[in-house]
Amino acid sequence: MASTTTKSWFWTGFWHGVPFVLVAGPFGTLFGVLATETGLNLVETMVFTTTVFAGAAQFTALQLMQEHTPTFVVLASALAVNLRVAMYSASLTPYLGAAPLWQRVIAAYFTVDQSYACSVAMYESQPDMSVPERMAYFMGVVTPLAPMWYLFTYIGAVLGSRISDSFAIDFALPIAFLAMIAPMLRTPAHIVAALVACVTAILAAGLPYNLGLIVSGVVAMMAGAQTELMIERRKARE
């Protein structure tokens, strides 16, 4: 009975992940194109995308590499962009922390915006799910996504500049993040962090090596945390 239920949750996650393929396709293709334009060959591009598996960080690193930015700054900027994944992991730990180590290692690799957003929303709405069911759902979400990311990265790297600008595949990135972020702005702390990040990123856009991303991320997290503390103190006084 348990295995049947686990399998059912896997397929539920799978179908919830399928719509994101519409974004993973052009997003991965764009990365493949830009990687070859930066000077990476096919093998380097594929190793990059399969080992990092973090779209926003990959794009950040590519842009900085094009500008001949020092390696330390490239790594620091990519890590800063991916700091949100550390917060995702902390948020997922109460739900998946009891899973076997090998499963947690796989889940850590596949923890991306889409898998996190879908999984946390499902876990919160279905608190009675067991750990195997939660892991099955999580893996279901990423099953249609990961292969498409790899495949379309390969297609983009092979086709390169032959893809016409009229396809406007560069719109995939902002559309993907807007689609995922908007439903998650559920508390005042979330909203404050998002607004502060936007304003700070604009004000810090002139900093060299895209360091404005790091600054805006740090400031936004501080603002969100401070807002959360203020709300908790207000509740305590009441």
pLDDT in tens, 25-55: 877 888 888 888 778 889 989 998 898 888 7
51 near 42, Cβ under 8 Å? no
Average pLDDT over residues 99-116: 92
Residue 4 has pLDDT above 90, yes or no: no
> What pLDDT is recorded for position 39?
81
Assign 1 a pLDDT band (cuts: 50, 70, 90): very low
> What pLDDT is recorded for position 211?
73
> What pLDDT is recorded for position 100?
93
Average pLDDT over residues 92-99: 92
Average pLDDT over residues 72-100: 83
Lowest mean pLDDT among 79-83, 108-112, 138-142: 79-83
Average pLDDT over residues 167-193: 64
Average pLDDT over residues 81-94: 83
> What pLDDT is recorded for position 66?
74
Residue 161 has pLDDT above 70, yes or no: no
Residue 164 has pLDDT above 60, yes or no: no
- The mean pLDDT of the chain is 82
pLDDT in tens, 136-155: 999 999 999 999 999 999 99
**Measured at the alpha carbon of residue 89, what is the angle toward residues 149 and 136, in degrees to the nearest 5?**
65
Residue 238 has pLDDT above 60, yes or no: yes
Residue with more model confidence, 211 or 91: 91
Residue with more model confidence, 62 or 177: 62
> What pLDDT is recorded for position 144?
94
Average pLDDT over residues 165-173: 54
